[in-house]
Amino acid sequence: MSYQPPPEGGSSTPPPEGGYSPPPAPSEGGYSPPPAPTGGGYSPPPAPTGGGYSPPPMTSMTPSGGSPSDMSHLPQSWMNAVTKPNVGTYEAEIPNANILKTMIGIAIVAVVGMLFAFLGAGAVSAQIDDAIRQVRAQAGSEVLVPLLEFIRGLVALGPIFALISPFITFFLGAGVQYLVGRTVGGAQSGDFMTHSYLSSLSYVPLGVVMSALGIIPGIGGCIAFFVRLYQVFSVGVSMQASQRMQSGKAQMSAFSPVLLFVLFIGLCCFLSFVLAALGGGNR
């Protein structure tokens, strides 16, 4: 079938006789086809060692403390709280917080305090016995004997008090600090359990130190006082992490139990002075 030209008036023109000429050769200004890869075709990406696809390594999401029953990190956590009292130290410990670890730390302080109380009670009881013998040797001083015996009984109860008191004083102080912190602007998301755990990290090692200092006459009590201040300061730093507080408000919240205790002692002294003055005026 031969080619039929379009009707007259159409827009198309017939191809030239003999057809279209091929494109010019590259040497005459035409386009060169892309060079073929060496060896023919494209090389596939290298396969991973051992064959097959290797998934990316998994990132462990387990906290540094592991499971709630894992206590292996506690000694290092206590050491960090004493030697590195900064917000970052306590923020890293938040995933490890649970009540079991808090109770174990306080129990350690209680047991150590009981042992040192036994040692101190023996020495104090011996001194009281000497005082009782000296009083009985003096005529007319027998009235002091019952008082000295009462004091000796209290000293004998010292180890039991040392075993129980850390649980009472720690949670009572932590509760006051927590409530004051929430009142002055602490984060509502910070829970009491986390606050208690972070507070215990400095309380445990420094509590053991203060128990040991307690049996040293004179200077031991003075050093223990400054150790206590450092421990309360560390609690303030921990509250910056647990309740997202500013440093000033956190320290004020941490020292609030100390301030309340000082106010209570001052009030007792003032009332004693007033009662003594009133009693002296009525004579």
Q: Which two tokens stand for residue 280?
A: 């002296």
Residue 171: Cβ-neighbour burial (10 angstroms; 0-12, 13-18, 19+): middle
Residue 12 lies in a domain: no
Q: How many domains does the chain have?
A: 1
118 pLDDT exceeds 80? yes
What residue numbers bound the domain in which 255 lies? 74-275
Residue 59 lies in a domain: no
Average pLDDT (151-174) is 89
2 pLDDT exceeds 80? no
Q: At what angle do helices 144-156 and 99-137 cross, to 10 degrees?
A: 160
Q: Which residue has the tokens 């004693």?
A: 272
Alpha helices of 84-191 — where are they, by DSSP H? 87-93, 99-137, 144-156, 158-183
Q: Which residue has the tokens 């060496």?
A: 38
Q: 136 pLDDT band (50/70/90 cuts)?
A: confident
Residue 28 lies in a domain: no
Looking at per-residue pLDDT, the higher value among 135 and 166 belongs to: 166
Per the prediction, the chain carries an average pLDDT of 79
- pTM for the full predicted model: 0.67
pLDDT at 11: 52
Q: What is the pLDDT of residues 179-237, one digit of tens each?
A: 999 888 777 666 899 999 999 999 999 999 999 998 887 898 899 999 999 999 999 99
Q: What is the pLDDT of residues 41-80, one digit of tens each?
A: 555 555 555 454 444 444 333 344 445 567 889 999 999 9
